[in-house]
Amino acid sequence: MVLQAKDIRKSFGDNDILRGISLEVERGELISIIGPSGCGKSTFLRCLNFLEHPDAGNVRIEDVELTSPRHWHRRDEAQAHRLRAHVGMVFQSFNLFPHRSVLDNVMMAPVHVKKMDHEAARRIACELLKKVGLGAVKDRYPDRLSGGQKQRAAIARALAMRPSVMLYDEPTSALDPELSEEVLSVMRALDEEGMTQLVVTHDMRFARAASDRVLYLEEGQIVESGDPDVMFANPREARTRRFLRTLLS
Amino acid sequence: MTPTIARALGRFIVCGLLVLGSAASVLTSRPAQASSALVVPGAQNEHDLPWASDGEANVPYVFHDPAQEGRVTGFEYELMGAIAQHVHRHSRFIQNGWDGLIPGLSRGLYAMVIDGIEMTPEHKEAVLFSHPYYVTSDRIMVRRDQQGLESLAALNGHAVGTIKNTAAERLLLQQNNVFVRSYDEETNLFSDLKNGRLDAVLIDEPIAHYYGSDDMKLVGPPIGTVAYGIAFPKDNPALRDAVDHALTTLQHDGTLHRILARWNLWTPQMAAYTGDKTTLDIKPQAWEDYRRTMESMSGSSFHAIMYRYVRFIPLIGQGAVMTLAVSALAMILAVAMGVVLALGRHYGAISIKILCGTYVEIVRGTPLLIQVLFIFYGLPAFGIRLSPLVAGVLSLGFNYAAYEAENYRAGLLSVPRGQMEAAIALNMTHFQALRLVVVPQAFRTVVPVMTNDFIALIKDSSLVSVITLTELSQTYIRLSSTYYDYVGTGLMVGLAYLLIGLPFVRLARMAEKRLGRVVGQGHH
Ligand SMILES: Nc1ncnc2c1ncn2[C@@H]1O[C@H](COP(=O)(O)OP(=O)(O)OP(=O)(O)O)[C@@H](O)[C@H]1O
Ligand SMILES: [Mg+2]
C-alpha cells in the first residue's frame, strides 16, 4: 500500500464538502475519481498533498504520515513538505511557469528543492521531456506550446521530482479530443511502468478503459468503488446509476 | 505642481513648522552662554560666519553676477563682508530658497538671514531683527507710454503686480478696486509689465531701479516706508547685538554709505535715516557694471550667446548630477521598501497588513512637498537632524515606496493563484515559490509602470530644491533669472532631464524584452 487516507473531512464555512473519505491505494494502481460537479473531487485530491488543509483525517504516503491538526503549526508544514516529496500533481489549467522555458520548468524543482546538480537535473529533464514527446520543443516558452504539449510538459515537471504517486485534476478537460489523447497515452505509458496514479476525470471512456478502479463521489462521500467494467455496466448504487445515465443523455 | 502653488503651500507649511520649531526650542532652550564667546549657528570653525539669502533673481541684494559665472555679489553681500570683518570672521554665503530661509535659521543651518526682509510685526514674531540697514519706499512703475497712474488711488481699476508677502502687496490689497497680481520673482513681474499683462508695478525702489528697463518709468512720489533688517534666531540676542554694534560702526565710518553709493542706492531717505549729510565722490560702479552687462547681453551676437551657453554646461552638469543622485538613491529605497510593503500587505498577518496599508494610504494621501518639508524642517523638533541630501532621498524614497508597493501588490495579484499552488505542489517552500515563480512574473507586469514612476520621480526630485539642494530645476531658475533667458536655458535643462531619463527607459526596455514573454501573446 503506497497511499492511505483515513476519514478526510473538510468544510468551507457551513458547507461540509468532504464528509469522511477513506481510501487505500496499492502501488501501481490507476484510480479514476468521478462524480457530479461540486461533489468535492478536487478538494479531496488537494487534501492528499495538503494544498488544502483538511479539518480532520490522516494521510500516509510511503512512510510519511500526517494527521491533520486542529491548528496548523510549523512542524505540520514541515511534515507536509516531507509528504509532498512523494506526490506529484497535474492541474486542469497546466500552471506551467510562463517566465521559464519548458526545460527550466522541469529542472526548477530538482535544482532548487532537491539541490540537485545542474547538469544532472538537466539530463533527467531532457530524458523526461523526450519520454513525453517534447524533446524537440524543450527550449520553447510555455506560450509557444499547444494545450496537449503543455499538459505533457506539466506531467514531466511533476515526474522530475520522482514521486511515487501522481495526482491529476481533470488533466484533459481543457483539451480537444485529439490533444487529450496525447496526454492520456502518456498516462497509460506511466501506468505500464508501474506508476501509481489518481485521476479526477470527466472522461468516462478513459476511466473505463484505463483504470484499475473507479471511485464514484457524491456529496463528499464515496458512494461506490470498484472495477470499472462492472461499475459502468452494472452500478450497485442507485445514485451511481443516475449519474451515469445523465452523462449518457 | 507649479512652483507658485508649491511655494504658497511651502509658506503655509513653514508657518506651521515654525510654531512646532519654536515650541521645541522652548523645550530645549540652552543654558545661558558665556557672554564673551559668540554662539554662531552653522559655523564650521571659530572664523566662520555663515549667512543665508535667496540669490535667485534678487538683484541688487544678493545675486549671481551675470558678468562672471560663479561670482556672487550685491549690496547685501558686500555689507555682510563688512560685518564679518567687524566680528573677526569670514563671511560665508549659503544659498537657500526664499521659503526655506527662516525655517533654516530656526534649524541652526546658519547664523543669520539677509534678503531684503521687511521688519513687519509678523516677521518680528518669528525672528530677532538687527537695526534697519536700509530704508526705502515703494514706487509705482509703468510703461513709458502710460499716463495718469501716479498715485495709489489712481491704480484703482488696473492690474497691478507686486512681489508676494511684501508691504507693497498689503498696500495694494487695501485699495478697493485694484486687481492685484502677486509674483515670486521680479523677472516675471517686469516681463509681464513689459508685455502688457500688467498696467503698473508697485515695488521697493531698489528693485524698480534695477529691473526697470528703458521702456518703463517711475512715476509719482515714494509711497510709505520699508525698512530691511537682518534676521537672527530668537534665542541668540548676543549675536544680534554684536551685529548691531558692527552696523552702527559701519554707518558712522561711512562704509555703509560707500557700499550703497557704489550700487547707486544712497538716497535722501537714507541720508535722513542715518543723519549722514555728506556727499561722497563715489562712482556708482557696481550699478554701471550691472547695467552694462545686461545691455551687452540683450544685444548679443549669436556667438556670444553660444559662448554663454557653453559656460552653463558645467553648472547644468552639476545640477544634473544632484538630480540623478537624489533620484537614483530614492528609487532604490522606494523599490526595496515597496517590495517589503507589498509582500506585507499581500501575505502578512492581519496586523502587518493593516500597518502596511495605513502607511501606504497616509503617504499617498499627503503632498510630497509637505513630506519633504516635514522631514527636513519638522523632524529636528524631535531631535532628528538630517542633511539636505539624506532628507531629500528619504522623503522621495518613502513617498515613492507607497506607490511602488501598490504597483507590486497589483503585480502580485495579477499572477494566477495556480502558479503558487503548482510551486507548492512541486514541494517548494513558500519563500522559494515567491522568489522563483510569483515575484518574477509580478515584476514583469510591473516594469513598465516602474519606468513611468522613475521618470516621474526624476521630475519630482525638483521639490528637494526647497531644502537647499541645487539640482536641475533650481539651476534653471537661477540661470534663467540671472540672464533673463528662459528659452535657451530651458531647452538645455529640459535636455538634461531627458538625458537622465533615457538610460532608465532603455534599461526598462531591456528588462521587458528579457522577461517579456507574456502568456497568451499569440503564437498558438
Ligand atoms: N476555497 C473554497 N472556499 C469555499 N468554497 C470552496 C472552496 N473550494 C471549493 N469550494 C466549494 O466546495 C465544493 C466542492 O468543490 P470541488 O472543487 O472539490 O468540486 P469538484 O468535485 O472538483 O467539482 P468540479 O467537477 O466542478 O471540478 C464546491 O461547491 C465549491 O464551491
Ligand atoms: Mg474539480
ipTM of the complex: 0.95
B423 and B466 inside one domain: yes
How many H helices and E strands in chain B? Answer: 20, 10
In percent, the amount of chain B with pLDDT more than 70 equals 90
Residues B106 and B212 in one domain: no
What DSSP element (H or E) covers A18? strand A15-25
DSSP alpha helix (H) spans, B437-486? 439-460, 472-483
Ligand 2 center to A208 CA (angstroms): 19
- Of A88, A95, A99, nearest to B517 by CB-CB distance is A99
Q: Answer yes or no: is pLDDT of B4 > 50.
A: no
Taking CA A36 as the corner, what is the angle to CA A35 and CA A40, rounded to the nearest 5 degrees?
Answer: 75
Statement to judge: residues B215 and B125 lie in one domain? no
Stated as kind and residue range, the H or E segment containing B499 is helix B487-515
Task: Specify the pLDDT at position B300.
Answer: 64
Q: Which residues of B touch A92 (CB under 8 A)?
A: none
Nearest to B131 by CA among B238, B279, B231, B53: B231
* Position B2 pLDDT exceeds 60: no
A48: three-class secondary structure by DSSP: helix
- Give the CA distances from residue B400 to residues B338, B348, B474, in Å, rounded to whole numbers and listed in that order: 8, 21, 22
Give residue A146's pLDDT: 94
Residue B373 lies in a domain: no
* Average pLDDT rounded to a whole number, residues B276-305: 82
Indicate yes or no: CB of A144 within 8 angstroms of CB of B523. Answer: yes
Residues from chain A contacting residue B440 (CB–CB below 8 Å): 99
Q: Is residue B378 part of a domain?
A: no
Domain boundary pick from B228, B245, B278: B228
Do B188 and B280 share a domain, yes or no?
A: no
Q: pLDDT tens-digit profile of B438-472?
A: 988 988 888 888 888 888 999 899 888 877 788 88
Residue B426 contacts A where some CB pair is shorter than 8 Å? yes
Q: Which of A87, A112, A144 sits opposite B436 (nearest CB)?
A: A112
Q: What angle do CA A114, A165, A202 make, to 5 degrees?
A: 130
How many Å lie between the centroid of ligand 2 and the Cα of residue A45? 9
Ramachandran class of B112: left when φ > 0, alpha when ψ lies in -120 to 50, beta otherwise: beta
Residue B339's CATH number:
1.10.3720.10
What was the pLDDT predicted at B53? Answer: 94
How far does residue A48's CA lie from ligand 2's centre (Å)? 14
- Tell me which of B194, B211, B228 is where a domain ends: B228
Q: Establish if B313 belongs to a structural domain.
A: yes
In-domain check, residue B425: yes
One domain for residues B150 and B114: no
Nearest residue, CB atoms, A143 vs list B419, B421, B521: B521
Q: How many domains does chain B have?
A: 3
Domain extent for B197: 134-228
Q: Are residues B75 and B222 in the same domain?
A: no
Residue B250 lies in a domain: yes
What CA–CA distance (Å, rounded) separates A171 from B168? Answer: 82
The whole-number pLDDT of residue B386 equals 86
pTM tops 0.90, yes or no: no
CA nearest ligand 1 atom 25, residue = A37
Q: Is residue B35 part of a domain?
A: no
Residue B26 lies in a domain: no
Task: For residues B236-262, give the mean pLDDT.
Answer: 94
Three cell numbers, residue A144:
509557444
Residue B90 and residue B105 in contact, taking contact as beta carbons nearer than 8 Å: no
Among B254, B279, B300, which residue terminates a domain?
B300
Residue of A nearest to B438 (CA): A97
Instruction: Please identify among residues 429-448 of chain B the ones whose CB lies closer than 8 Å to any CB of chain A.
Output: 429, 432, 436-437, 440-441, 444
Q: Whose CA is nearest to atom 30 of ligand 1?
A: A38
CATH code of B143's domain: 3.40.190.10
For cell 521531456, name the residue.
A129
Number of C-alpha atoms within 13 angstroms, CB side, residue B212?
A: 22
Which of A175, B305, A18, B29 lies closest to A9 in space, CA to CA? A18
Q: Do residues B174 and B69 both lie within one domain?
A: no
Kindly state the DSSP code that residue B34 receives in the 8-state scheme: P
Q: Whose CA is nearest to atom 28 of ligand 1?
A: A38
**b/e burial code for range B286-321 (CB count within 10 A of at least 16 → b):** bbeebeeebeebeeeeeeeeeebbeebeebbeebbe
B10 is a domain residue:
no
Q: Do B349 and B451 have their domain in common?
A: yes
Do B160 and B253 lie in one domain? The reply is no
**B196: number of Cβ within 10 Å:** 9
Measure in Å the smallest separation between the Cα of A44 and chain B Cα atoms.
15
C-alpha pair distances (Å), B91 with each of A36, B107, B471? 89, 19, 24
Distance CA A62, CA A60 (A): 6
β-pairing verdict for A15-25 and A165-169? unpaired
Gap between the Cα atoms of A67 and A120, Å rounded: 35
Short-list A163, A154, A159, CA closest to A25? A163
What are chain A's domains? 1-86+196-249 (3.40.50.300)
Residues B351 and B445 reside in one and the same domain? yes
User: Both B296 and B328 in a single domain?
Assistant: no
Bridge partners, residue B128, by sequence: B232
**Contact state of A142 with B519 under an 8 Å Cβ cutoff:** yes
Question: What is the whole-number distance in angstroms between the Cα of residue A44 and the centre of ligand 1?
Answer: 10
- DSSP notation for B412-436: HHHS-HHHHHHHHHTT--HHHIIII
Given a cut of 70, is residue B6 above it in pLDDT? no
Q: Flag whether pLDDT at B246 surpasses 90.
A: yes
A41 C-alpha to center of ligand 1: Å?
Answer: 8
Contact across the interface for A95 and B418, Cβ inside 8 Å: yes
3-state secondary structure of B220: strand
Of A195, A197, A202, A157, nearest to A175 by C-alpha is: A202
Mean pLDDT of chain B: 85
- Rounded to whole angstroms, how far apart are CA atoms A200 and A173? 10
What is the nearest CA distance from A151 to chain B, expressed in angstroms? 13
The stretch B94-104 carries a mean pLDDT of: 86
**Cα B3 to Cα B463: distance, rounded to the nearest angstrom:** 9
Answer whether residue B155 shows pLDDT above 70. yes
- B311 closest CA partner among B485, B185, B461: B485
pLDDT band for position B5 (50/70/90)?
Answer: very low
How many residues are listed for chain B in this entry?
Answer: 524
Name the residue at shortest CA distance from atom 9 of ligand 1: A43
Quote the DSSP letter at residue B382.
G
Query: In whole angstroms, what is the distance from residue B304 CA to residue B261 CA?
Result: 31
Tell me which of B511 and A56 has the higher pLDDT: A56
- Asked whether residue B340 falls in the same domain as residue B454, the answer is yes
How many CA atoms, within 13 angstroms, populate the side-chain half-sphere of residue A119?
0
Which residues line the pocket of ligand 1, CB cutoff 6 A?
A: A 12, 17, 35, 37-43
CA atoms within 13 A on the CB side of B440: 17
Q: Over its length of 249 residues, how does chain A's per-residue pLDDT go in tens digits?
A: 999 999 999 999 999 999 999 999 999 999 999 999 999 999 999 999 999 999 999 999 999 999 998 888 889 999 999 999 999 999 999 999 999 999 999 999 999 999 999 999 999 999 999 999 999 999 999 999 999 999 999 999 999 999 999 999 999 999 999 999 999 999 999 999 999 999 999 999 999 999 999 999 999 999 999 999 999 999 999 999 999 998 877
